[in-house]
C-alpha cells in the first residue's frame, strides 16, 4: 500500500512516454540538441528503435499495407 501511489505515477510516466515516442519524429540532424531528449524519451518508452519507427513508416501506407501509385 505505501508504494501504490508511486507505482501509479511511474505507470503514467511510462505510458505518456510510450505515446509521445510514437508521435515525435527523430531529429533529422545527428548533431541536434534535441537528440539526447529524444533518446531519453525512447528509453522511458521502452522503445528500442522499433515501435516509433514502425508507427512513422505506417503513416505513409494505406490500410492494406500497400502504397498507391496515383500517377496512372
pLDDT of residue 58: 65
pLDDT at position 50 is 61
pLDDT by 10s per residue, the chain, length 72: 788 899 999 999 888 888 887 777 777 888 888 888 888 888 888 776 666 556 566 666 555 545 555 555
CA atoms within 13 A on the CB side of 45: 22
The cell for 61 is: 501506407
CA atoms of 5 and 25, how far apart (whole Å): 32
Phi and psi at 13, nearest 5°, equal: -65, -45
Contact 56, 46 (CB under 8 A): no
Amino acid at each position: 500500500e505505501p508504494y501504490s501511489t508511486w507505482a501509479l505515477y511511474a505507470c503514467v510516466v511510462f505510458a505518456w512516454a510510450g505515446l509521445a515516442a510514437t508521435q515525435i519524429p527523430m531529429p533529422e540532424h545527428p548533431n541536434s540538441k534535441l537528440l539526447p531528449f529524444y533518446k531519453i524519451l525512447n528509453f522511458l518508452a521502452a522503445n528500442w528503435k522499433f515501435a516509433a519507427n514502425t508507427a512513422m513508416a505506417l503513416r505513409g501506407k494505406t490500410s492494406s499495407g500497400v502504397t498507391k501509385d496515383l500517377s496512372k
